Amino acid sequence: MFKQLRRVLELLYITDHSNIVKFYGISKAPGGYFTLVLQLATGGDLRKYLQNKRINGLYKISWTELIGIAKDITLGLMHLHDKNIIHRDLHAKNILMNNDGRALITNFGISKQIKDTTTSSSNMGGVAAYIEPQYFSTIKSQIKNLTFLAWEFCFGNSQAEFDHLMIYLIHKLYY
């Protein structure tokens, strides 16, 4: 537990960026548990934020705002990549919305800093629909997760829901 906590703290320490949740410190709670003190994001996670913008199945959100969210996530991801950090669990519940509408990447629990940007990893975790193809965890493969996020906030469906739809359509077309 301490090894993982130390790794997360080291990553948070070097990821100072306006689109990555800010790390302020650590506190020891009663019972001996450690608590990270992070930036407050009153808008909740991206999935809930977008669900609150839906009325009768349609978004009541401008394309300008959607593009702004995509830009925020992309800039945060670029900063991580500049530091050779792969998030490995990038999805809508790991994007928080600040009170000013800015998207913040969070949850670095399975993130990893790599020396070689082509290195793969067999230690996988996270949400299955967003894990990289062939279990690769490279910086380049994180772009797939970004496209799934864009799909989700443009069309309101997560990658898992999209996969179910594709399986249903293939079944209807070929069986």
> Does the annotation count 89 as an active-site position?
yes
Q: Which of 45, 89, 100, 163 is catalytic?
A: 89
DSSP string for the chain? -HHHHHHHHHHHHT---TTBPPEEEEEE-TTS-EEEEE---TT-BHHHHHHTTEETTEE---HHHHHHHHHHHHHHHHHHHHTTEE-S--SGGGEEE-TTS-EEE---TT-EE-SSTT---S---S-GGGSPGGG---TTTHHHHHHHHHHHHHHS--HHHHHHHHHHHHHHHH-
Residues that are catalytic: 89
